[in-house]
Amino acid sequence: MKRKILCVVGTRPEAIKMAPVILALKNEPWADVRVLATAQHRHMLDQVMSFFGIKQDIDLDIMRPNQALTTLTARLLLEMDGVLNAEKPDIVLVQGDTTTVMTVALACFYHRIPIGHVEAGLRTWDMQNPFPEEANRVIAGKLARWHFAPTEGSRQNLLREGVPDSDIIVTGNTVIDALLMTAAKDLELGIELDPNKRLVLVTSHRRENFGEPFRNICRALRTLAENNPDVQFLYPVHPNPNVKDVAHELLGPVSNFVLCDPLEYAPFVAAMKRAYLILTDSGGVQEEAPALGKPVLVLREETERPEAVEFGVVKLVGSNYDVIVSEAQRLLDDEAAYREMARGVSPYGDGHGAERIVNSLREYFN
């Protein structure tokens, strides 16, 4: 008997990390794979879906400009009744810690449909950081039946919360599956850069940084660019207006700072490979960059991804102007310090995460 598996994606990172799972499930004769896009992100989600050649069966087209968390949650919950009544899946797979994940998990709980949580067990143990993602993943984790934990550390977090060991499967993070699938292709960045200049790649979008912390980050980036005219900076700017408007105001006029729209996944992987150093508050980039041997300075006070910090290849610098400027300058000036952080390690996965998830579902259903 075929089992109906509803795979949910809402935002760019969910689509990147769920794509390998969807593609692997589609090869399973016992699985009737359905894809639900809440489209919490529109353009950034579409970019990823078309890159991986995945077409959604249902699209809620939920995104609105500058959406508020409560409205987004309420609208999603209302839509999910109709989806679950019509689809009646045997299992729903969600990925990560977005509003889509939390809301779909809650709706499935009300409908008594079991949930598999991909990228389970990441914790900072601080509800305000990252906001609202820590709460989203704690809630999804409370409601999930299968916890696909990327690392042994995330397994330990779940055990500490009382999740039975038998419900946790350590799989590695599927972002490394996606990265390896992509990095193996011929990649074009599509943006003209000076081949003789080092590149600093930047991304930033976290809600807890909105306002003064994000302005500090931009001021620090501007100082770095002005003090290092021989280095070029590339920042694909997140379309959230709280980010975009400030980034363009503070960094737009700086001549060695290139601001561009969000890059498609393959060009972004090309940018990571081309980069000398990466400054980011992104979760996914913290996982991918170490696998590519690129040092990362994390523009956050805390991280739920401590493994690469422990390896010494990722460092937290928060949103403090002085710390960001001095740590980045040190890596630009001190080659020994740079080399220490530019070791290629991949604590988050080996490229077989999706395979392990599918194996455990196959075992369960057959």
Sheet containing 31-37, strands listed edge to edge, beginning at the edge strand earlier in sequence: 58-59, 31-37, 3-9, 91-95, 115-118, 146-149, 168-170
With binding defined as CB under 6 A, does residue 262 bind ligand UDP? yes
With binding defined as CB under 6 A, does residue 132 bind ligand UDP? no
Task: State how far the Cα of 30 lies from the Cα of 52, in Å rounded to an integer.
Answer: 22
Angle between helical axes of 69-87 and 99-110 (0-180°, round to 10): 40
Of the candidates 174, 184, 182, the one whose C-alpha atom is nearest the C-alpha of residue 17 is 174
With binding defined as CB under 6 A, does residue 263 bind ligand UDP? yes
| Minimum distance from residue 172 beta carbon to ligand UD1 (Å) | 20
With binding defined as CB under 6 A, does residue 264 bind ligand UD1? no
Sheet containing 231-236, strands listed edge to edge, beginning at the edge strand earlier in sequence: 257-260, 231-236, 198-203, 277-280, 296-298, 314-316
Among 29, 65, 162, 253, the residue binding ligand UD1 under the rule CB under 6 A is: 65
Distance of CA 206 to the CA centre of its chain: 11
- Pick the piece of the chain touching ligand UDP (CB under 6 A) from 1-9, 73-81, 284-292, 358-366: 284-292
With binding defined as CB under 6 A, does residue 16 bind ligand UDP? yes
Among 100, 157, 282, 346, the residue binding ligand UDP under the rule CB under 6 A is: 282
Q: How many CB atoms lie within 10 A of CB 229?
A: 10
HSE-CB of 365 using CA atoms within 13 angstroms: 21
Task: State how far the Cα of 208 lies from the Cα of 342, in Å rounded to an integer.
Answer: 28
Residue 105: contacted member of ligand UD1, ligand UDP, none (CB under 5 to 8 Å, by partner type): none
Residue 295: contacted member of ligand UD1, ligand UDP, none (CB under 5 to 8 Å, by partner type): none
Specify the residue, 103 or 151, whose C-beta has the smaller distance to ligand UD1. Answer: 103
Residues 6+ apart with CB under 8 A from 196: none
Helix (H) or strand (E) holding 4: strand 3-9
With binding defined as CB under 6 A, does residue 29 bind ligand UD1? no
Task: State how far the Cα of 313 lies from the Cα of 159, in Å rounded to an integer.
Answer: 27
With binding defined as CB under 6 A, does residue 214 bind ligand UDP? no
Among 7, 13, 176, 303, the residue binding ligand UD1 under the rule CB under 6 A is: 13
Residue 182: contacted member of ligand UD1, ligand UDP, none (CB under 5 to 8 Å, by partner type): none
List phi, psi (to 5°) of 171: -120, -15
| Minimum distance from residue 19 beta carbon to ligand UDP (Å) | 10
- Pick the piece of the chain touching ligand UDP (CB under 6 A) from 52-60, 261-269, 327-335, 351-359: 261-269
CA distances from 86 to 32, 81, 354 (A): 15, 9, 27
Task: State how far the Cα of 305 lies from the Cα of 345, in Å rounded to an integer.
Answer: 14
| Minimum distance from residue 118 beta carbon to ligand UD1 (Å) | 15
Residue nearest ligand UD1, Cβ-based: 98
Residue 67: contacted member of ligand UD1, ligand UDP, none (CB under 5 to 8 Å, by partner type): ligand UD1
- Pick the piece of the chain touching ligand UD1 (CB under 6 A) from 22-30, 77-85, 91-99, 190-198: 91-99
What is the three-class DSSP state of 172? coil
Single-letter residue type at 351: G
Quick one: 198 exposed, middle or buried, by C-beta within 10 A (0-12, 13-18, 19+)?
middle
Single-letter residue type at 105: A
| Minimum distance from residue 212 beta carbon to ligand UD1 (Å) | 17
Residue span 101-140 as binding mask against ligand UD1, x where in contact by CB under 6 A, dash where not: -------------------------------xx-------
Residue 363 region, left (φ>0) first, then alpha (ψ -120 to 50), else beta? alpha
Give, as one character, the DSSP assignment of residue 6: E
Residue 16: contacted member of ligand UDP, ligand UD1, none (CB under 5 to 8 Å, by partner type): ligand UDP
| Minimum distance from residue 150 beta carbon to ligand UD1 (Å) | 16
Q: Give the active site residues.
A: 97, 119, 133, 205, 207, 238
Binding site for ligand UDP (CB under 6 A): 12-13, 16, 175, 203, 205, 236, 262-263, 265, 268, 282-285, 288
Binding site for ligand UD1 (CB under 6 A): 11-13, 40-44, 63-67, 69, 72, 97-99, 132-133, 205, 239-241
